[in-house]
Structure 1
């Protein structure tokens, strides 16, 4: 009788394990980020309820909304030097570095290390802005991009360029205060640096392939101009930024450690 009870228990356990639900895509991505770069979860929330003040791309790019965010950020940066003439170009450059710098690394890790691909449609994302006016956290409704599951890493990165980055750069360029090339230069520098950080996950061959296609091919696979083309260049055997980001022109903001002006 004891033997029959034990057998029944084992059967129930096997049945339960066999029917245990697979983790959702959001859970899989969250686990991957936690395992490899846990600090990125501070900036990307997956399938969590965003705060009421978080905005979609379509909302924050409205001229009045964007002007208010940039005015708030300008007030913050110039708070200690209110009499200094304000420069919008470096301000927008640094604002974009915050926005893209927080959003892109976790999306790169998700796209390049997971079999399933996350849907990058802008309407899936809401942005929570810091009290100073710059981006603070991204809240993403996670859906699978079923068309991308068999796509190579290069194609996934090109979708990141066209679906996620191009609308942001276009919106900032539309202010008339910055040329989109400067934002793309900053972005290429960021992506190249993060590819280096991901080398242990991706391997030397894939990192080299991605760098070649992203930075040294003038066109994307669909024939569009590649905005990351030559945003980093080879100097002394290293890929380095091509142009200065201009942030040093802002009060109390130092030059980058590898500024091209040094």
Structure 2
């Protein structure tokens, strides 16, 4: 029978993959595994979110967020309880945990999938660590609306406006931090991962995204670009404009490329 010709031992198939992505969630997971496998340790596309996870609408409730930040403050000041608590650097570092874990995987998915993803806040559930900071994320992977723009810049803008802005707004609403500081930290994260993507993504597109993210005062939608000039180009390198202030917390070192160094 002709089909018997294909019945070869597994070792003779060489690099033929055993897993063939079928759903959009499968494709996102496969992309993570191929390009940034460590993402699979803390972000789970398409998996059922556990009962102890929260959406943005839930964790941003004043009482819930206050509890999380109190836990985080207790952790950060555990060895120096006599020190006066500084809320701005505390929230700055808390936000860096949240966005540092979430934004690079969303960038990878949004910029490499065949169709853009719906990045509405209700699609994301987060589990918080016992210390109060973000630990792991679960994504309800759904395609964006059928008429959503598909080019890279529009996808990045969708991430900024739908995926990140609501998080920044929730933290700014505490009154303890200016959103500009969070966006400055986000500029650093975005720049870092655009550079990481140069290992496998067209450099021309990444250069255009760099310019659009950091040199365009407005997004294509007409809204102000919150990443504008959060990173500055100097001698062929993108450098952050302002200090994240995390070093004002006890035991937290100044970043190696801090603007105050």
TM-score normalised over the length of structure 2: 0.91
Deviation at 1:128, TM superposition (A): 0.5
Which runs of 5 or more structure 2 residues have no equivalent in the other structure? Answer: 8-19
Other-structure match for 2:119:
120
Over residues 14-51 of structure 1, what are the superposed CA-to-partner deviations in whole Å (9 max), with x where a residue is unaligned? xxxxxxx9610011110111011000111210111222
Contact map agreement 2:119 2:159 (CA 8 A) in 1: yes
Contact map agreement 1:148 1:156 (CA 8 A) in 2: no
Other-structure match for 2:233:
234
Match runs of 1:88-99 below 5 Å:
88-99=87-98
Provide closer, same or farther for how the CA distance between residues 118 and 154 of structure 1 changes in structure 2, counting only shifts above 3 A.
same
Mapped pair 1:157 → 2:156: yes
Other-structure match for 1:31:
30
Over residues 167-224 of structure 1, what are the superposed CA-to-partner deviations in whole Å (9 max), with x where a residue is unaligned? 0000100111100000000000110111001012222211110011111000000100
Query: RMSD of the TM alignment (CA)?
Result: 1.9
Other-structure match for 2:81:
82
Match runs of 1:66-215 below 5 Å:
66-147=65-146, 151-215=150-214
Provide closer, same or farther for how the CA distance between residues 113 and 176 of structure 1 changes in structure 2, counting only shifts above 3 A.
same
Contact map agreement 2:53 2:127 (CA 8 A) in 1: yes
Radius of gyration: which is bigger? 1
Provide runs of 4+ in structure 1 moved above 2 Å: 146-150
In 1, Cα distance between equivalents of 2:100 and 2:164: 11
Deviation at 1:235, TM superposition (A): 2.4
Please give the secondary structure, in 2, of the residue aligned with 1:200. coil
Contact map agreement 1:121 1:163 (CA 8 A) in 2: yes
Other-structure match for 1:47:
46
TM-score normalised over the length of structure 1: 0.91
In 2, Cα distance between equivalents of 1:121 and 1:179: 23
Over residues 109-135 of structure 1, what are the superposed CA-to-partner deviations in whole Å (9 max), with x where a residue is unaligned? 111112122211111111100000000
Contact map agreement 1:117 1:148 (CA 8 A) in 2: no
Contact map agreement 1:45 1:138 (CA 8 A) in 2: yes
In 2, Cα distance between equivalents of 1:112 and 1:201: 12
Provide closer, same or farther for how the CA distance between residues 237 and 52 of structure 1 changes in structure 2, counting only shifts above 3 A.
same
In 2, Cα distance between equivalents of 1:63 and 1:140: 24
In 2, Cα distance between equivalents of 1:214 and 1:67: 32
Over residues 62-99 of structure 1, what are the superposed CA-to-partner deviations in whole Å (9 max), with x where a residue is unaligned? 00000000000000000000100000000000000000
Provide closer, same or farther for how the CA distance between residues 148 and 133 of structure 1 changes in structure 2, counting only shifts above 3 A.
farther
Deviation at 1:147, TM superposition (A): 3.0
Other-structure match for 2:59:
60
In 1, Cα distance between equivalents of 2:145 and 2:166: 22
Other-structure match for 1:251:
250
